[in-house]
């Protein structure tokens, strides 16, 4: 069923960068707003995993994030990965994209939202996103026990709001109640922390910011810049721990 809300000690560095000499692929951010309480969401979860694993669009480096909303939690199953933070982020997208709040929803590069299980729409949106230039973000992460020191650097700063997302590489859940009761579900790049690090101004100079964060084993670290509060992605990079 579709629920619709009317909107009111090691160093690792892996980057998916526009213009990187090792790859001609342009990084594209794909966010999936999903819920384990929604029977329409598992196909979208599987599509996100497929896009992440197969990287099927020529010229694109897909950077995926799964953000579990909380507005399904009162309908029989409380999603253990959900947060009101991701619900609010989806509402902000609904405002900027002149849409509604529903699951599953996929948002590509902060510029276009659509039903999250629609693979054809996803591919079209990614192909369009590749046409927009982005600044490069270099992300380095050094683990220190349960924390990580994360260095975010841009040779030329992009204009917008800088975000830092931490996501589990993968997650599984046995759903006991609700629309997906009795099903074993799997997810990829499940966000467990999303921080707004502040404004970045495009002034022809570089940018550098260091952040210390508590991290879980098998974490993807994604830094990106969006126009305004939420909007078109103007820079992105990632690392893994």
- The Cα 189–Cα 221 span in angstroms is 10
Domain coverage including residue 177: 4-240
Contacts of 81-85 spanning 24+ positions with Cβ under 8 A: 81/36, 81/171, 81/173, 81/187, 81/190, 81/192, 82/35, 82/36, 85/194
Residue 202 is predicted with a pLDDT of: 77
Residue 239 is predicted with a pLDDT of: 95
The total of structural domains in the chain comes to 1
Q: Is the pTM of this model over 0.75?
A: yes
Q: What is the mean pLDDT of each run of 10 residues along the chain (241 residues)?
A: 45 43 78 98 98 97 98 96 98 94 97 97 97 91 92 90 97 96 98 95 83 94 91 94 89
Residue 66 is predicted with a pLDDT of: 98
Residue 204 is predicted with a pLDDT of: 67
């Amino acid at each position: 069923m579709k629920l619709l809300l009317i909107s009111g000690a090691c160093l690792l560095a892996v980057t998916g960068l526009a213009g990187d000499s090792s790859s001609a692929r342009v990084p594209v951010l794909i966010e999936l707003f999903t819920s384990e309480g929604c029977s329409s969401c598992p196909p979208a979860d599987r599509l996100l995993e497929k896009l992440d694993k197969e990287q099927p669009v020529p010229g694109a480096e897909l950077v995926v994030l799964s953000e579990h909303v909380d507005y399904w939690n009162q309908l029989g199953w409380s999603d253990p990965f959900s947060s009101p933070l991701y619900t609010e982020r989806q509402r902000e997208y609904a405002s900027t994209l002149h849409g509604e709040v529903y699951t599953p929803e996929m948002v590509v590069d902060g510029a276009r939202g659509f039903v999250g299980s629609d693979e054809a729409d996803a591919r079209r949106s990614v192909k369009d996103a590749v046409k927009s230039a982005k600044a490069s973000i270099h992300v380095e992460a050094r683990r220190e026990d349960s924390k990580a020191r994360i260095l975010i650097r841009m040779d030329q700063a992009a204009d917008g709001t800088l975000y830092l997302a931490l996501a589990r590489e993968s997650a599984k859940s046995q759903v006991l109640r609700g629309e997906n009761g009795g099903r074993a579900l799997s997810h990829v790049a499940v966000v467990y922390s999303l921080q707004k690090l502040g404004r970045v101004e495009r002034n022809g100079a570089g940018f550098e910011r260091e952040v210390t964060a508590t991290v879980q084993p098998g974490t993807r670290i994604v830094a990106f810049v969006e126009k305004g509060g939420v909007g078109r992605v103007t820079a992105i990079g990632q690392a893994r721990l």
